[in-house]
Amino acid sequence: MATPPRAPLKPLSEALAQLLATVTPLAQTERVATLEADGRVLAQDVVSALHVPPQDNSSMDGYALRVQDVAQAGTVLPVSQRIAAGSAGTPLQSGTVARIFTGAPVPAGADAIVMQEDCVAVPVAEGATPQVQVNVVAQPGQWIRRAGEDVTRGAVVLAAGQRLGPAAQGLAASIGMDRLTVVRRPRVALFSTGDELVMPGSVAPQDMPPGAIYNSNRFFLNSLLRRLGCEVTDLGIVPDQFDATVQALRDAAATHDVILTSGGVSVGEEDHIKPAVQSLGSLDLWQIAIKPGKPFAHGKVGAAHFIGLPGNPVSSFVTFMVLVRPFLLRLQGVMVLEPISQVARADFAWPRADKRQEFLRVRRNAQGGLDLFPNQSSGVLTSAVWGDGLVDNPGGQTIQPGDTVRFIPFVELLA
């Protein structure tokens, strides 16, 4: 009987589009303290109820004055008031200046600030009104931060679907938001299968049995999930038995949004994940045109999404970043999923092109170019530690030193 032809490899862009089409963003929200909102995804727009800054204020320590009162450098004027940040001054008297400090409100009537470095205090008799010599001709509006210069009242300062970072937390605080409405964290169950897997600490390196390997994928997948804002239930290593796998999947699906596994998803591989998932729900097995990577599984177990990654550590690492990362962000309602890439110079040669889209582990050098890790095998996790990003190389494309390539820093993928 003839073997049926294999389906063609699926382009990454097509696989990602199909995967994202299965996602319905989580509807449940919660209120969290703004101080605790780093990495969370906004569930509703944040609208300012005030101008920021709330009134015109000085951006320098110096003197507030009327430009018309200083027709030439060297003009001497009396100091009629002193205004510190947090205090309110009075309207500026014509022909006088106000001593003012950074952040203090500009008094009515003043239309410029002169830095203190451009002024000299004039000696006066004890008890007399202080005077200052202004040694520059001021320009209208100089060193004044206008009310609403940063944020205007009624403006949307942070949009729903935005993933918050430290600057966004500060911006929310600047308009008085002590709590924010965010999407609840996705609940992800993580487990591994395979009798060859051993947990670090359970067996000493010198006592490892033949064929056994330490379960490295469990560690980096756990961290990647947490960095993306997920609540992770680490179910460890499930015994390589059909009944045990079915029970683990059924239990995980009851209380989680996503079940993530690694290993056992290659086409034709003998394992219990595929029949177990199919017995409880549905499963699609894809061969994706990427390297490292290629095997990828997704489906449903009850209401939970199931995702199966390849077992080789770099394949699992890269496939997570290009497929699972955008999937989890979309599940939280994030709309902008594409990592920011850079055009960079390759300081290496890649003469043998693969038909698949390749993700090469590289790092930036002191000359502004990219160096290539010498061993690009899917089992060499050292390459992902040594490197600081990936070159996204189209299928069939060779690279010569000096060529420009698309570089995706890990900071864009791992934050």
Interval 241-269: pLDDT, tens: 889 899 999 999 999 999 999 887 665 55
Helix (H, G, I), strand (E, B) or coil at 265: coil
What number is the average pLDDT over the span 295-316? 95
Run of H or E residues at 383:
helix 382-386
Q: How far is CA 175 from the centre of its chain?
A: 23
The whole-number pLDDT of residue 59 equals: 97
The reported pLDDT for the residue numbered 318 is 97
Q: What is the mean pLDDT of residues 211-231?
A: 93
Work out the mean pLDDT of the chain and round it to a whole number: 93
What are the beta bridge partners of residue 285? 297
What is the C-alpha separation between 290 and 316, in angstroms, rounded? 12
Fold of 29-52+149-183: Molybdopterin biosynthesis moea protein, domain 2 (3.90.105)
> Using 50, 70 and 90 to split pLDDT, how confident is the model at 361?
very high
Size of the chain, expressed as the number of residues it contains:
415
Nearest Cα residue to 110 out of 54, 149, 70: 70
CA 111, chain centre distance (Å): 42
Q: Which CATH class name applies to 57-145? A: mainly beta
Q: Does CATH place domain 342-414 in 2.40.340.10?
A: yes
pTM to 2 decimals?
0.86
Asked if residue 292 has a cis previous peptide bond (ω within 30° of 0), the answer is yes
pLDDT over 90 (residue 412): yes
Average pLDDT over residues 184-188: 98
Sheet holding 97-100, edge to edge: 112-115, 62-65, 97-100, 75-83, 131-134, 119-122
pLDDT digits (tens, 9 = 90+) for 110-167: 999 999 999 999 999 998 999 999 999 999 999 999 999 999 999 999 999 999 999 9
Which conformational region is residue 165 in: left (phi greater than 0), alpha (psi within -120 to 50 degrees), or beta?
Answer: beta
Fold of 12-26+185-331: Molybdenum Cofactor Biosythetic Enzyme; Chain A (3.40.980)
Tokens of 125: 């008799």
Beta carbons within 10 angstroms of residue 262's beta carbon? 30
- For the residues of 44-113, what is the DSSP string, one character each? S-EE-SS-BSSS-EESSSEEEE-GGG-SSTTEEEEEEEEE-TT----PPPTT-EEEE-TTPBPPTT--EE
Instruction: Record the tokens describing residue 105, joined without a space.
Output: 């409100």
Determine what percent of the chain is predicted with pLDDT higher than 90: 83
Within 8 A by CB and 6+ apart from 164, the residues are 37, 38, 39, 40, 41, 42, 158, 172, 180, 182
Q: What is the pLDDT of residue 213?
A: 85
For the chain, give the percent of residues with pLDDT over 70. Answer: 97
pLDDT level of residue 4 (50, 70, 90 thresholds): low
Residue 21's pLDDT band, with cuts at 50, 70 and 90, is: very high
Cβ 113 vs Cβ 62: under 8 Å: yes
Structure tokens that stand for 272 in this block: 């219990």
Written as one letter, the residue type at 319 is T
Contact 317, 384 (CB under 8 A): yes
Tens-digit pLDDT profile for residues 31-65: 999 999 999 999 999 999 999 999 999 999 999 99
For residue 200, the model assigns a pLDDT of 87
Domain boundaries, the chain: 12-26+185-331, 29-52+149-183, 57-145, 342-414
Residue pLDDT, tens place only, 69-112: 999 999 999 999 999 999 989 999 999 999 999 999 999 999 99
Per-residue pLDDT, averaged over 288-304, amounts to 95
At 196 the pLDDT is: 82
